[in-house]
Amino acid sequence: MSAEVTANYDASAIKVLKGLEGVRHRPAMYIGGTQADGYHHLFKEILDNAVDEALAGFATQIITTLNRDGSLTIEDNGRGIPVDIMPEEQKPAVEVIYTVLHAGGKFEEGAYKVSGGLHGVGASVVNALSQFTRVEVFRNGKHYRIEFSRGEVTQPLQELGPAPQGKRGTRVTFLPDPQIFGNELKFEASRLRVRLREVSFLVAGLKLIFRDEIHQKEEVFFDEGGVASFAKFRADGEELLYDKPILLQGQVEAVGVDVGLVHTKGYSANLASFANMIPTADGGTHVSGFKTAYTRAINTYARKAGLAKDLEPTGDDLLEGLSAVISVKIPQPQFEGQTKGKLLNPEAGTAVSKVVYEKLSEWLEENPRLAKAIYEKAQRAAQAREAARKARELVRRANPLESDDLPGKLADCQSEDPAEAELFIVEGDSAGGSAKSGRDRRFQAILPLRGKILNVEKAGLNKALKNAEVRAMVAAIGAGIGGKDGEEAHFNLEDLRYHKIIIMTDADVDGSHIRTLLLTFFYRYMRPIIEQGYLYVAQPPLYGLRVGKSKQVQYLFDDEALKKALAEIGDKPYEIQRFKGLGEMNAEQLWETTMDPARRVLKKVEMKDASYAAQIFDDLMGSDVQPRREFIEEYARFAQIEV
Ligand code: 1YM
């Protein structure tokens, strides 16, 4: 900004500027961080404004376009942001909304604005953190445009001419600022799609179109069935107990409740929850309210209907195979937790509990045949739980004379301090052999796995526990098994024997597959290990490069690195070794490249966005290869490099 312009600014304008400078100074305070999550948060904020216009009953369609230059355009067909001059500021409303941090409040009196995020400050925050922002408004039969850069007006509001016949709405284009986010981050189509799909289910009847100009693809997200369809969608890949999902809806005082349910023949519980359309990955009062009322409604019905037997299903038994989406709309949501993913409002719990108990009881009365099928499935789950408990006892008592029942093929480390102990889970016996000889046995343990481990997503706990590879992992890790949604946790982090559990697989398709299976296993049965940041993926090199007569081998981790290295040596003779698998490296090479803490590269597996991860893991359940492959490609995004 030039000095001349500054001089003309009055006191309120300077305060305004300070506001947006504050956003640029401390972006994390507003968007959580400046990594990929924060970057995509900008999209969610503008989308939220368009969605609010739909919730208010004025917009029916939202188009999101990923432009070739990396910018994003979001357009709705609502009323259009007001453009008239605001008396106090003497500026068009649209300018105030995009440049004043708390301008949203003025527009909130209509009280429809329940959606989450930044409550109307979103527009100015996005503007502050964008290299450019263009807002076009179609209103009063006219087409207006205003442009900004890094929060400041660059082109004042202009009337461009008449709007095309009948066109109304708001179109916002912005590019997140590389000064804030760096040069590497980009909008990821997959993340945009996950949110658009979510919104299409949460706002039944709203049409969301996604245009990907980079990959030349268009997709329409539209559903009349709301959260009930969402529950069914999320159950994808599992056979359903019945076809028509259950919708439980109601309003208790100011809290709106929407719950969708469908029972599958599978074993995992799949709950997704939202407060004001914000995913609540850690659940909260609304989810607890749901579980209590759901269990009480079914058990009460079963007693009345004479279905109950001695072994009464627990809440977890009843949740087995359930796919549910719980969505509440609440005037003043309170969130807690590291990722603010947990809803705290007690009134949300009360409201969900009341609506679910009443409406589900009615549904059970009206559908006795299905009610019986649901209850019988839970009874089988209760029996399986009993059987699993016995199986666990069996695992524990299997080998009373051997030290702590550790599996025979585990080469354990000497240290008993979990903080320094590392467990390498290695693909195949031959790599396992090299790893055993190459390791530092003081703190590194090796567990070779033979072939592919069981697909636990399909199997369920009982079957999983019969699998030799699963049992070996459970025994080696030492903290039990459980923690899968809907199952009582028998997992205790305090018993964990290693604080680094490192998955070491080949850098090929089979390796990726095994890694995926292992990740699914940890996600479903030992999630706290991921949450605590104890799970890692090793990065073995792809190439060894020897230049001239040197004995020194340079290890390279991808094709890019190889190209770069080759370019740097220009005309000397060289020799390239391509490692097809871990087994091709000898013990010394494996130690040097992949295991030595001083030289190796480990990727930490992160579950920051648990709802996103759950979605991906859902994709993995299906028998389709494609989503699985996409997951493997996406997987790198959960990981942070640690050297
Ligand atoms: C692609 C983004 O922002 N649409 C949009 C926003 C608004 C209105 C209409 C609107 C609201 C009201 C009256 C009102 C507004 N948002 C804000 C704030 N799409 C998009 N469409 N007239 C028009 O609330 O009474 C203020 S107006 F502050 F939330 F950003």
pTM of the full structure: 0.64
Between the alpha carbon of residue 352 and those of residues 228, 229, 236, 291, 361, the distances in Å are 15, 19, 25, 10, 14
Pair (421, 510) in one structural domain: yes
Q: Indicate which residue's Cα is closest to atom 12 of ligand 1.
A: 107
Residues 563, 541: Cα–Cα separation, whole Å: 14
In the chain, the amino acid numbered 479 is: A
pLDDT at 611 over 50: no
Mean pLDDT of 594-614: 75
- 11, two tokens: 């006191």
Q: Ligand 1 in contact with 107 (CB < 6 A)?
A: yes
Say yes or no: 237 and 322 in one domain.
Answer: yes
pLDDT for 429: 82
Return the top range by mean pLDDT from 111-115, 162-166, 517-521, 565-569: 162-166
Which of the following is catalytic: 223, 427, 487, 609?
A: 427
Q: What letter would DSSP give residue 593?
A: I
Instruction: Report the C-alpha gap between 402 and 398 in whole angstroms.
Output: 9
**Cβ–Cβ under 8 Å, residues 307 and 318:** no
Segment 92-103 mean pLDDT? 88
Residue 108 covered by a domain:
yes
Q: What is the pLDDT of residue 513?
A: 75
Per the annotation, the verdict on 506 as an active-site residue is yes
Q: Cα of 348 to ligand 1 centre, how many Å?
A: 27
**pLDDT value of residue 630:** 61
Q: What percent of the chain has pLDDT over 90?
A: 57
User: Reduced to 3 states, what is the DSSP secondary structure of residue 258?
Assistant: strand
Q: How far apart are CA 218 and CA 225, in angstroms?
A: 22
Number of domains in the chain: 4
Pick from 446, 454, 608: which is nearest to 516 by CA? 454
pLDDT classification of 111: cutoffs 50, 70, 90: very low
Q: Which of 61, 81, 98, 170 has most ligand 1 atoms within 8 Å of CB, for mutation?
A: 81
For residues 345 and 362, give the distance between their C-alpha atoms in angstroms, rounded to a whole number.
27
Predicted local distance difference test score (pLDDT) of residue 621: 55
The 3-state DSSP class for residue 210 equals strand
Q: Are strands 602-605 and 444-449 parallel, antiparallel or unpaired?
A: unpaired
Q: Tell whether 353 is covered by a domain.
A: yes
Confirm if 334 and 280 have CB atoms less than 8 A apart: no
- Are 525 and 628 members of one domain? no
Domain containing residue 453: CATH number:
3.40.50.670
Q: How confident is the model at residue 551 (pLDDT cuts 50, 70, 90)?
A: confident
- Do both 639 and 493 map to the same domain? no
CATH of the domain at 111: 3.30.565.10
* Strand, helix or coil for residue 50: helix
Could you tell me where the DSSP H helices lie in 141-283?
178-181, 189-202, 226-234
Residue 65 lies in a domain: yes
355 CB neighbour count, 10 Å cutoff: 24
The angle that helices 36-55 and 189-202 make with each other, rounded to 10 degrees, is 30
> Tokens representing 430?
């031959």
| pLDDT confidence bin for 404, thresholds 50/70/90 | very low
Query: Is 188 one of the annotated active-site residues of the chain?
Result: no
Average pLDDT over residues 338-356: 92
476-520 pLDDT tens trace: 998 888 744 544 446 788 889 999 999 998 877 778 778 878 888
Do 215 and 326 lie in one domain? The reply is no
Cα 20 from Cα 8, distance rounded (Å): 18
Q: Could you tell me where the DSSP H helices lie in 478-607?
A: 509-525, 527-531, 559-569, 587-590
Query: Reduced to 3 states, what is the DSSP secondary structure of residue 212?
Result: strand
Residue 564: CA atoms inside 13 Å, Cβ hemisphere, count? 8
CA gap 437, 136 in Å, rounded: 66
Which residue among 510, 584, 596, 634 is the active-site one?
510
81 Cα to the center of ligand 1, angstroms: 5
Edge-first strand listing for the sheet containing 278-279:
246-252, 255-263, 322-329, 270-275, 278-279
609 is a catalytic site residue:
no
221, 255, 272 - which closes a domain: 221
pLDDT of residue 336: 87
pLDDT at 267: 85
How far is residue 348's CA from residue 290's CA, in Å, rounded to a whole number?
10
C-alpha 195: how far from chain center: 10
pLDDT(608) > 80: no
Please state the rounded mean pLDDT for residues 377-399: 71
CA nearest neighbour of 45 among 195, 193, 153: 195
Please indicate, yes or no, if residue 272 is contained in any of the structural domains.
yes
Averaged pLDDT of the chain: 85
247-275 pLDDT per residue, tens = 999 999 999 999 999 999 988 899 999 99
Reading the block at residue 359, the tokens are 């409406």
Q: Whose CA is nearest to atom 2 of ligand 1?
A: 50
Rounded to the nearest angstrom, the distance between the alpha carbon of 188 and the centre of ligand 1 is: 26
Residue-wise pLDDT for 68-79, tens only, equals 999 999 999 999
pLDDT tens-digit map of 120-149:
678 999 999 999 999 999 999 999 999 999
Residue 192 has pLDDT above 80, yes or no: yes
Task: For 286-343, write each residue's pLDDT tens digit.
Answer: 999 999 999 999 999 999 999 998 888 999 999 999 999 999 999 999 998 666 789 9
Question: Are 163 and 98 found together in one domain?
Answer: yes
The reported pLDDT for the residue numbered 399 is: 39
Ligand 1 centre to CA of 14 (Å) is 25
Residue 271: which residues within 8 A CB-CB, separation 6 or more? 283, 287, 290, 319, 322, 323, 324, 325, 326, 485, 486
Site to probe by mutation for ligand 1, drawn from 47, 51, 52 as the one with most ligand atoms within 8 Å of Cβ, is 52
- Residue 80 CA to ligand 1 center (angstroms) comes to 7
Do the Cβ atoms of 44 and 125 come closer than 8 Å?
Answer: no
Q: pLDDT-derived band of residue 96, with 50, 70 and 90 as boundaries? A: very high
User: Has residue 499 been placed in a domain?
Assistant: yes
Listed range (170-179, 422-431, 509-518, 546-555) with the worst mean pLDDT: 509-518
Does the C-beta of 119 come closer than 6 Å to ligand 1?
no
Contact 119, 104 (CB under 8 A): yes
| End position of a domain, from candidates 387, 411, 444 | 387
Q: C-alpha distances in angstroms, 483 versus 93, 118, 256, 312, 486?
A: 51, 33, 30, 21, 8
Q: Which of 6-15, 18-27, 295-304 has the lowest mean pLDDT?
A: 6-15
Structure-token match 């033979």, residue found = 450
Q: Report phi then psi at 244, rounded to 5.
A: -90, 115
pLDDT in tens, 426-482: 988 888 999 999 999 999 999 999 866 776 666 667 777 778 888 889 889 988 887
Beta carbon of 133 within 6 Å of any ligand 1 atom: no
Write the CATH number for 340: 3.30.230.10
What pLDDT score was predicted for residue 517? 80
Distance 132 CA to ligand 1 centre (A): 20
- In Å, what is the CA distance from 471 to each residue of 238, 407, 409, 447, 458? 25, 8, 12, 12, 17
- Please tell me whether residues 293 and 191 are part of one structural domain: no
Any bridge partners for residue 554, and if so which?
545
Same structural domain, 350 and 444: no
159 a catalytic residue: no
Residues 256 and 369 in one domain: yes
Pocket test for ligand 1, best of 48, 49, 119, 136 (most atoms within 8 A of CB): 49
> Which residues lie across from 285 on neighbouring strands?
none
Catalytic residue among 223, 347, 506, 618: 506
Helices (DSSP H) in 414-508: which residue ranges? Answer: 429-438, 456-459, 461-464, 468-477
| 3-class SS shares of the chain: helix, strand, coil, % to 5 | 45, 25, 35
> For the segment 36-88, what is each residue's pLDDT rounded down to a tens digit?
999 999 999 999 999 999 999 999 999 999 999 999 999 999 999 999 999 99
Give the domain-ending residue among 168, 192, 221.
221
Q: Which residue's alpha carbon is at the smallest distance from atom 30 of ligand 1? A: 120
365 and 420 inside one domain: no
Q: Are residues 292 and 213 in the same domain?
A: no
The response to whether residue 104 sits with its C-beta less than 6 Å from ligand 1 reads yes
Are 295 and 406 part of one and the same domain?
no
- Paired tokens of 189: 């189509």
39's enclosing H/E stretch is helix 36-55
Question: Which one-letter amino acid corresponds to residue 419?
Answer: A
Name the residue among 266, 235, 218 with its Cα closest to residue 487.
266
pLDDT tens digit string along 417-430? 999 999 999 988 88
Residue 365 has pLDDT above 70, yes or no: yes
**Which residue type, as a one-letter code, is found at position 528?**
P
Write out the residue range of the structural domain in which residue 187 sits: 21-221
In-domain check, residue 9: no
Beta strands at 270-275 and 278-279: parallel, antiparallel or unpaired: antiparallel
DSSP state of 298: H
Overall average pLDDT of the 166-174 stretch: 97
Within a domain: 311: yes
- Could you tell me the pLDDT band of residue 175, with boundaries at 50, 70 and 90? very high
Coil, helix or strand at residue 584? helix
Q: What is the DSSP letter of 230?
A: H
Which positions ≥6 away from 523 have C-beta within 8 Å?
530, 607, 613, 617
Nearest to 375 by CA among 323, 303, 291: 303
- Cα(323) to centroid of ligand 1, in Å? 34
Cα–Cα distance, 248 to 259 (Å, whole number): 5
| Position 162 pLDDT exceeds 60 | yes
For residue 81 and ligand 1, the question of a CB distance below 6 A is answered with yes
The ligand 1 atom nearest the CA atom of 78: 21
Tell me whether residue 551 is in a domain.
no
